[in-house]
Amino acid sequence: MKAEVKDVSLRGKVALVTGAAAGIGRGVAIELARQGARVAINDVDRADAAHITLQMVREASADGGIIQADVAQPEQVQAMVEEVVRRLGRIDILVNNAAIQPNLGLMDYDDAWFDHVMSVNLLGYLNCIQAVVPVMKGQRQGRIVCMSSVHAKRPTDFDTVYAMSKGGIKMLVRESAIELAQYGITVNMIEPGAVQVGRKIGNPRPIVPPDRVTEESRRRGARKFPLGRVGVPSDIGHIVCFLASDEAEFITGAAIRADGGSMLL
Amino acid sequence: MTNRRVALISDASQAFGIATAKRLAQEGVTLVLNGPPGPSEQVVANLAQTLQDEGHEVLVATSDLGDTETVASLCNDVVTRYGRIDLYVHTHNRIDRGAVASLPHVLVRDALNFNAKTAFLCTQVLGRQMAKQGAGCMVYVGSIHGEKPTGCAFSYALAQGALQMLCKEAALELGRLGVRVNLIAMGPVEGDDQQFYSDISDLYLDYQYKVPSATLGTADDVAEAVAWMASDAAKYLNGAIIRLDGGFLLHYMDHKMKR
């Protein structure tokens, strides 16, 4: 007897991906589109880049649209969700991805930056969850995937409040998972390690100061990744597709670390 | 200038703060007891009076520790008076009930700021002072709800998750400057079944018996742990999150409870 072969298809589903103009968000939008989902591409201010993401989504023969909103503003998030429902009919998948990382150390942060990072990274995720829950409740089904980080576990040593926001997201996911399970909504997180993305907001990530890059430091850097490479956005997109699929219906409140094994070294 | 150790307790109006103040006083630590503005102030004033009557050196503060300037001003007062600060004990602990789906954004921010931003600002400002001295110690009294969801007070859990990462980050940055930072993830004490009553999670159902010894923790358990973490006996402890719950979080088999 032949086993039934079933692919991971998201045909007919609608996904909303925040911060999808570039980087991991773009990679997630493209992979969702390749599985057949229609994708609402959110970003706050990178309109040109968002159009490129939309083009790539369409090349994957899926429909989609761009919805500008600042996830830190609850009213804008509410309006965004209403517009997605108006334009695409429903929301099956929310991917909370929009985040900032100013790369400030403990002593370099000020009040305003603390509030800003928390507003976007942590409260922004909450705003989006609060806005989509009524829609998903109505559908008796939903998938929420939150981009966390290996830095919800391991400190960064270069951005204190970023790590604090990821620690908060860990608990937001766990609390949401047990509270929203009754509506058929699952909530999970992915913990990416280093992923090749475009420019981030803020200072460049100070891995090694340029004047201290030596043959030895290069060798050490390469040895931080057991699989021999850093991540690419599609690595993360594949996991989102799985978590968003019908096959993942029993998984909630879980974290999948995707870092090529680097956290183990 | 004093030769005695100087400790700041961020909220000395709460049970954990009161017990810690009394415990540190026994060791001859000079105490700066802060009470956030409001009803806490009177509780702290009374505690200070009691300790002063016993001959302890106590300074009372009523700061909300809500922004850098406020914290810097308190730090300055302490250093002007005593010449140093050796220990910061973070005891801010406010549990606001509310569901993920419906708690207004502003209240979540309040909970985050009260429980975690205060610790962040104090760690920054007092950390600078301790680094100047070349030594110091921070102890955050946190909660098991930095790992285990509550099912009733998610904003508290968010703040606890953030506090855990602050501990690890600060342990690295301040560790290089002679300052250790650790966290106590406190488990259930009497009354927590009311505070954390949940329609979703039965975590606190029969909570006393989920502790293998069938004995709940007390504020004195926190105070003992703080005293140890702040002492030289714990000089190799840094960035640690110590679960202080008698084994409560390990519970799984209801029929094996000791009752």
Cα–Cα dist A168/A157, whole Å: 17
Query: How far is the C-alpha of A8 from the C-alpha of A14, rounded, in Å?
Result: 15
In a domain, B192, yes or no: yes
Enumerate the residues of chain B whose CB falls inside 8 A of the CB of residue A163: 165-166, 168-169
Query: Residue A49 has what pLDDT?
Result: 95
Q: Do A105 and B150 touch (CB under 8 A)?
A: no
Question: Nearest residue on chain A to B146, judged by CA atoms?
Answer: A171
- What distances in angstroms separate CA A70 from CA A52, A77, A78, one per listed residue? 19, 7, 11
Residues of A in contact with B174 (CB under 8 A): 106
Interchain proximity B146–A174, CB inside 8 Å: no
Mutate to test the interface with A, among B71, B128, B158 (most CBs of A within 10 A): B158
Extract the tokens encoding B206.
């029969």
Q: Is A185 at the interface with chain B, CB within 8 A? A: no
- Tell which residue, B223, B216, B160, B215, has the closest CA to residue B192: B216
Q: Which of B109, B127, B149 sits opposite A171 (nearest CB)?
A: B149
Q: Are B174 and B127 in contact (CB under 8 A)?
A: yes
Select from B244, B235, B63 the least CA-distant residue to B144.
Answer: B244
Residue from the list A110, A133, A163 with its beta carbon closest to the beta carbon of B169: A163
- Both structure tokens of A146: 């939150």
Chain B hits for A119, Cβ within 8 Å: 109
Q: What is the pLDDT of residue A1?
A: 52
Helix ranges (DSSP H) in B134-181: 154-175
Q: Residue B62: which CATH number?
A: 3.40.50.720
**Domain residue limits, chain A:** 14-264
H-helix or E-strand spanning residue A31: helix A23-34
Using a CB-CB cut-off of 8 Å, the residues of chain B touching A174 are: 148-149, 157
Helix (H) or strand (E) holding A170: helix A160-180
Is B222 inside any structural domain?
yes
Cβ of B101 and A168 within 8 Å? no
* Strand residue runs (E) in chain B: 6-9, 30-34, 58-61, 87-90, 136-143, 179-186, 241-244
- CB-based contact A170 B170, cutoff 8 Å: no
For residue A38, give Cα distances in angstroms to A12, A13, A85, B73.
7, 6, 12, 54
Nearest CA in chain A to B119: A164
- E strand residue ranges, chain A: 14-17, 38-43, 64-68, 93-96, 142-147, 185-192, 255-258
- Interface A-B, measured as beta-carbon pairs within 8 A, has a size of 134
Which of A118, A133, A179 lies at the smallest CB-CB distance from B151? A179
Three-state DSSP at B195 gives: helix
Any idea which residues of A carry the catalytic annotation? 162
User: Taking a contact as any Cβ pair under 8 Å apart, which residues of chain B between 64 and 83 contact chain A?
Assistant: 67-68
Distances (CA, A) of A205 to A101, A201, B55: 9, 10, 52
Q: What angle do CA A161, A190, A202 make, to 5 degrees?
A: 35
| Nearest-angstrom CA–CA distance, B76 and B69 | 10
Question: Would you say residue B54 lies in a domain?
Answer: yes
User: Which pLDDT value is given to residue A217?
Assistant: 77
A175 part of contact set with chain B, CB < 8 Å: yes
ipTM of the modeled complex: 0.97
* DSSP string across A107-124: TT--HHHHHHHIIIIIHH
The pair of three-digit structure tokens given for residue B134, joined into one six-digit string: 């070349």
| The pLDDT of residue A205 | 59
Does B68 sit within 8 Å of A122, measured CB to CB? no
Model pLDDT, residue B258: 94
Q: Is B98 part of the contact surface with chain A (CB cutoff 8 Å)?
A: no
User: B165 vs chain A: nearest CA distance in angstroms?
Assistant: 5
CB atoms within 10 A of CB A78: 15
- Work out the minimum CA distance from A48 to partner chain B, whole angstroms: 30
Tell me the Ramachandran region of residue A94: left when phi exceeds 0, alpha when psi lies from -120 to 50, beta otherwise: beta
For residue A216, give how far its alpha carbon lies from the nearest alpha carbon of chain B (Å).
23
Beta carbons of B177 and B205 less than 8 angstroms apart: no
Report the C-alpha gap between A10 and A62 in whole angstroms: 11
B178: left (phi over 0), alpha (psi -120 to 50) or beta: left
Given a cut of 50, the residues of chain B with pLDDT beneath it are: none
CA distance B220 to chain A (A): 28
The Cα–Cα gap between A6 and B87 comes to 60
> What's the pLDDT score for residue A3?
55
3-state secondary structure of A228: coil
In angstroms, what separates the C-alpha of A164 from chain B's closest C-alpha? 4
Q: Is B205 on the interface with A (CB under 8 A)?
A: no
Residue A8: predicted pLDDT: 52
Give the separation between CA B115 and CA A195, rounded to whole angstroms.
Answer: 32
Is A180 in Cβ contact with B149 (below 8 Å)?
no
Distance CA A80, CA A64 (A): 14
pLDDT of residue B2: 72
Count CB neighbours of A241 within 10 A: 24
Residues in Cβ contact with B198 at an 8 Å cutoff, skipping those fewer than 6 apart: B150, B151, B152, B204
Rounded alpha-carbon distances, angstroms, from residue B23 to B20, B144, B166: 5, 23, 25
What is the C-alpha to C-alpha distance for residues B201 and B193, in angstroms, rounded to an integer?
Answer: 11
| A161 and chain B in contact, CB less than 8 A | yes
- What is the three-class DSSP state of A257? strand
Chain centre distance of CA A252: 16
Residue B178 forms contact with A (CB below 8 Å): no
Topology, domain A14-264: Rossmann fold (3.40.50)
**Nearest neighbour of B100 by CB, restricted to A129, A169, A170:** A129
> Which domain covers residue B52, as residue numbers?
6-256
Residue B143 CA to residue B124 CA, distance in Å, equals: 21
Number of domains chain B is built from: 1
User: What pLDDT is attached to residue A181?
Assistant: 98
CA distance A159 to A202: 11
Q: How many CA atoms lie within 13 A of B80 on its CB side?
A: 7
Partner A contacted by B173 (CB < 8 A)? yes
Q: pLDDT tens digit string along B157-216?
A: 999 999 999 999 999 999 999 999 999 999 999 999 999 999 999 999 999 999 999 999
Pairing mode, if any, of strands A255-258 and A185-192? parallel
Tokens linked to B101: 């789906």
Q: Which two tokens stand for residue B126?
A: 């007092």
Structural domain contains residue B132? yes
Residues B59/B78, Cβ–Cβ less than 8 Å: yes
Helix axes B15-26, B40-53, angle to 10 degrees: 20
Chain A CB within 8 Å of residue B90 CB: no
Q: Is residue B1 in a domain?
A: no
> Low-confidence residues of chain A, pLDDT below 70?
1-8, 198-209
Nearest residue in chain A measured CA to CA from B126: A107
